[in-house]
Amino acid sequence: MAIKEILSRKGEEFRPRTMKLIKDFGGVVIDEVTIDHAIGGVRDIRCLVTDISYLDPQEGIRFRGKTIPETFAALPKAKNSEYPTVESFWFFLLIGDVPTEEQVEEVLAEWKVRQNVPEYVWKLLRAMPPDSHPMVMLSSAILVLQKDSKFAAYYNSGNFNKKVAWEYVYEDAFDLVARIPVIAAFIYNLKYRNDAQIAIDPTLDAGANFAHMIGQCEEYKDVARMYFILHSDHESGNVSAHATHLVHSALSDPYYAYSAGLNGLAGPLHGLANREVLDWTLKFQQKYCHGVEPTRELITKALWDTLNSGQVVPGYGHAVLRKTDPRYMSQREFCLATPGLKDDPLFKLVSMIFEVAPGVLTEQGKAKNPWPNVDAQSGVIQWYYGLREWDFYTVLFGVGRALGCMANITWDRILGYAIERPKSVTTAMLEQWAAEGGRKLHEPKVAPAATDTKAPSTAH
Ligand code: CMX
């Protein structure tokens, strides 16, 4: 059965659950909001819904109910590889079932048709200033594809029907996930290899083809598969997934939505941290080691110097996780199982930082989670395979994250999620509720005082 038909059936089966919750239980309280939440980034408030992945603070991510090792074990593998194809993982995220070999073949075939990128994208990228950041290039390339959005065309057709709108989001979403590795490879070659482009090899799966297009070795095919899968989804509240969901909630099409998601991913507290880790580690070697072997004492000093200068230790901490990120562990296990990488000096250094940094962060006492996240390990692997242009690392993250974001917004439309519009309040309101010991939920709302200069003058 074609993927779209399976998705249609899944949507029909699932939709009554959402409808019943809204109709019969819409008033059930699931969380409460404090002043800390309103000022402090809405941390930990349960106000988003996704069934594609769930992030437990202790255990880490589960994709469609499966841990990372369970996911890798369950999915059909790429040819001559222990890793699944990105295509089979896409089916799994989107549909929620482990695909059969036949279904993987179907996705592979469809992916190959969809992965061709229109020539105007290359023209745009070549016209950009050569010193543009690769994330700007990726986000721009995704945005320029908007002109051919099937969802936008459907919306503008004059026959918009909420019930079938998801089919057009699905079309764009699938096109986007198939095209983004090809676009990323083009950006890499344009920016770092004098525009020496390598054509798509239509016999290869997406991860292998990415490795081929950036001129990488055989082993890197698994690196790409692993990397894209590990970075795909981390439930809905992270900046890239939430930005994508938010923008799409206005019925902006998937290209608008994911370009926005990528712009959020480009921040140093989010996806750019993978580049910051490499930068920090290499600067540490230059500044502190002076040709001598790194020691725990030197690393401790460098970490304290970073903290005392008001900077964060990149690759450590997390808004939700309270243990070592299993995505970190998965990449670490890959390193330990890869002979050359296991003994690589940079990997050894990163491992030593892993031994020291949690203690330093705990002693400092600010970070709620002193353990490493995904970004603490990912750059080392890229560096080892010769991909040393670290500004590009966030692009790799963006290729993977597209899988989760696109699966999520397809389901947003299947289930008809509403436009997102949280309510703002003024500082004066918070002060008043603080003085009163809390907002009285069932009394008339506080109107901004006429003399309150902080209150907004017009409503939006
Ligand atoms: N180094 C130093 N200080 C840290 C820290 C770290 N790695 N992680 C958190 N803190 C500090 C925060 O800056 C905050 O300080 P202030 O009170 O002075 O503002 C305090 O500890 C409490 O923060 P928190 O509640 O533990 O963490 P947040 O939820 O606010 O932020 C995160 C989470 C990831 C932004 C933060 O841990 C951080 O900046 N880490 C380093 C950057 C990083 O690795 N980002 C990648 C995350 C994964 C990803 O999205 O890719």
Which own/partner pairs from 37-46 qualify as long-range (CB within 8 Å, at least 24 positions apart)? 38/425, 38/430, 39/430, 41/319, 42/237, 43/319, 44/320
Pocket of ligand 1 (CB under 6 A): 43, 238, 269-271, 273, 307, 312-319, 366-369, 373-375
**439 vs 254: CA distance, rounded Å:** 38
Amino acid at 322: R
Residue pLDDT, tens place only, 397-434: 999 999 999 999 999 999 999 999 999 999 999 999 99
pLDDT at 1: 67
* Residue 314 CA to ligand 1 centre (angstroms): 8
Res 292: pLDDT: 85
458 pLDDT band, cuts 50/70/90, is very low
Q: Which of 369, 262, 316, 357 is nearest to 44 (CA)?
A: 369
Q: What is the pLDDT of residue 455?
A: 39
Which H or E run includes 16? Answer: helix 3-25
- Residues assigned a catalytic role: 270, 318, 375
Q: What is the mean pLDDT of residues 291-298?
A: 89
Amino acid present at 311? Q
Q: Are 235 and 218 in contact (CB under 8 A)?
A: no
pLDDT: which is higher, 92 or 454: 92
Closest CA to 126 of 223, 191, 62, 46: 191
Query: Phi and psi at residue 253, in whole multiples of 5°?
Result: -75, 170
pLDDT of residue 293: 86
320: three-class secondary structure by DSSP: coil
Mean pLDDT, residues 340-363 = 96
pLDDT bracket for residue 453 (50, 70, 90): very low
Q: Which residues pair with 84 in a beta bridge?
A: 77
The answer to whether 52 and 407 have CB atoms below 8 angstroms apart is: yes
- From CA 397, how far away is CA 139, in angstroms rounded? 13
Q: How much of the chain exceeds pLDDT 70, in percent? A: 96
Residue whose CA is at the smallest distance from ligand 1 atom 25:
368
Could you give the CA distance from residue 243 to residue 443 in angstroms, rounded to a whole number? 33
State the average pLDDT for the chain.
95
Going along the chain from its start, the domains and CATH numbers come out as: 273-384 (1.10.230.10)
Closest residue by CA, ligand 1 atom 45? 269
**SS3 of 84, please?**
strand
Q: Residue 441: pLDDT band by 50, 70, 90 thresholds?
A: confident
Closest CA to 210 of 179, 241, 256: 179
Q: Which of 211, 232, 262, 208 has the alpha carbon at shortest distance from 90?
A: 232
Query: pLDDT digit string (tens) for 251-267?
Result: 999 999 999 999 999 99
Please choose from 235, 240, 242, 269 the residue to mutate so as to test ligand 1's pocket, defined by most ligand atoms within 8 A of CB: 269
For residue 446, report the distance from its CA to the centre of ligand 1, in Å. Answer: 34
Rounded CA-CA distance 405/400 in Å is 9
Q: What is the mean pLDDT of residues 220-242?
A: 98
Give the length of the chain: 460
**Taking Cα atoms as reference points, which of 30, 32, 194, 77 lies closest to residue 126?**
194
Are 58 and 322 spatial neighbours (Cβ–Cβ below 8 Å)? yes
pLDDT at 459 over 60: no
Candidates 417, 420, 418, 426; CA nearest to 455 is 426
Q: Give residue-wise pLDDT tens across range 131-160.
A: 999 999 999 999 999 999 999 999 999 999
Q: How far apart are the first and last CA of the chain?
A: 47
Reported confidence tier of residue 447, pLDDT bands at 50, 70, 90: low
Q: Give the pLDDT of residue 449.
A: 58
Task: Report d(CA 263, CA 422) in Å as an integer.
Answer: 21
pLDDT tens column, 154-179: 999 999 999 999 999 999 999 999 99
CA dist 371 and 358 (Å) reads 5
The pLDDT, as a whole number, for residue 456 is 38
Q: What is the mean pLDDT of residues 107-125?
A: 98
Per DSSP, the residues of 13-75 read HHHHHHHHHHHHHTT-------HHHHHTTTTT------SSEEEETTTEEEETTB-HHHHHHHS
pLDDT digits (tens, 9 = 90+) for 10-43: 999 999 999 999 999 999 999 999 999 999 999 9
What is the predicted pLDDT for the residue at 61?
A: 98
Question: Is 261 in contact with 397 (CB distance < 8 Å)?
Answer: no
Local confidence band at 306 (pLDDT 50, 70, 90 cut-offs): very high
In terms of Cα–Cα distance, which of 68, 53, 54, 57 is closest to 324?
57
Which one of 240, 312, 320, 375 would you pick to mutate in the ligand 1 pocket, going by the greatest count of ligand atoms within 8 A of its CB? 312
Contact 318, 367 (CB under 8 A): no
Residue whose CA is closest, atom 46 of ligand 1? 270
Q: What is the DSSP string of 170-210?
A: HHHHHHHHHHHHHHHHHHHHHHHSTT------TTS-HHHHH
